[in-house]
Structure 1
Amino acid sequence: MPRFLSIYKSVERTSPPPPEEMARMGKLVEDGFKSGYLLATEGCLQTALGARIRQSQGKVTVTDGPFTEAKEVVAGFAILNASSKEEAIKLAKDFLQVAGEGECEIRQIFEAGQGCPGLATNTAESKKEAALAS
C-alpha cells in the first residue's frame, strides 16, 4: 500500500494548544494508529529553536530561527498508509477538522523499485519496467 507524507503548515503558535484541542488530537492519533492508516506523526516546536540550512552555488548558509518572514511554518507531519492520493486527501481533511486553520501538503513517498510515478522518462530501463508492469 502506498505511503504518503502529510506536511502540516499553520501560523506559528505562541502558546500550547488548549487541553480540549489536545484531547481531540490525541483521540484522532490513537484512532489512526489502531486503524492502521497512521504510521508516524509528530508536531514541531517553535521556529525560534530551529535553523534553515541552504546550499546555493556551492556555498552553505545557516539561518537560525525564528523565521519572521514566514506567514505559515511547518507545524508537524504524519506518515499515512493510504490506498490512493484521494484517500490521503480525505485523511488530511479529517486531520484539519481537528487541527483547525492551516494546510496539509500530501506527497507520496518513494518506494525502492517502484520507479517514479508521474515522471516521464525515456530511458531503456524505464521502458522495460513499463512493459513488465502492463
Structure 2
Amino acid sequence: MRVMVLVKATQDSEQGFSPSPDTMESMAAMGRFNDELRAAGILRMADGLHPSSAGKRVAFDGPDRHVIDGPFAQPNELVAGFWLWEVRDMDEAVAWVKRCPNPMPGPSEIEIRPLYEMSDIA
C-alpha cells in the first residue's frame, strides 16, 4: 500500500526556514528518522516545501484559469512537507508516524492518505 504522509503547515513553518541550533537539531532528528524509514524499505520519497508565500495556485472554472499568488490563509490547512511510503497497511503507516519526531517547534499534525492503486479504479 502506498501512502502520502503530509506534514501540515503551522504559523512557524509559514515564516520560512531559519537555521538556529533548535532547528538544526530538529532537522538532524528528522534525518535519523528518514534513515530508519529507508533502512526498513518504506521510504520512497521525502521533501519539505517552501512557505506558501513562494507558491501560486491556479483556479479552474470551465475553460478559465486564474492565478492566485501566495501566501495562503489558514496554515493548518496547508502542507509543509511530505513523504511517500510503501507500507503493508494503514496500521503500519500510523505506527511509523507515531515514531516520528515532532516536525514543528510547537503543536503539529501529520496526515496519512492512501494513494489510489489501479485495483481501486478497476
**TM-score class, shorter:** 0.7 to 0.9
Deviations 1:42-64 (A, max 9, x none): 00011111101121243221111
Number of aligned pairs?
A: 113
Identity of aligned residues (%): 27
Query: In structure 1, what is the Cα distance between the partners aligned to 2:63 and 2:95?
Result: 41
Secondary structure of residue in 1 paired with 2:93: helix
TM-score, normalised to structure 1, is: 0.74
In structure 1, stretches of 5+ residues that fail to align are 117-125, 127-134
What is residue 92 of structure 1 aligned with on the other side? Answer: 97
Unaligned segments of structure 2, at least 5 residues = none
1:74 to 2:79 alignment: yes
Question: Residue 4 of structure 2 contacts residue 84 of structure 2 at CA under 8 Å; is this kept in 1?
Answer: yes
For the residue of structure 1 that corresponds to 2:18, the secondary structure is: coil
Letter in 1 for 2:81: G
Partner residue, 1:21: 26
CA contact 1:10–1:75 (8 Å) conserved in 2: yes
Structure 1, residues 50-98: CA drift from partner, whole Å, max 9, x if none? 101121243221111111x223221011011111111112222222x33
Amino acid at match of 1:80: W
Q: Which residue in 1 is equivalent to 2:36?
A: 31
**Residue 115 of structure 1 aligns to a residue in which SS?**
helix
Stretches (4+) displaced over 3 A: none
Is the Cα–Cα contact under 8 Å of residues 102 and 108 in structure 2 kept in the other structure? no
| 2:69 aligned partner | 64
Task: Give the counterpart of 2:111 among 93, 105, 112.
Answer: 105
1:22 CA displacement: 1.0
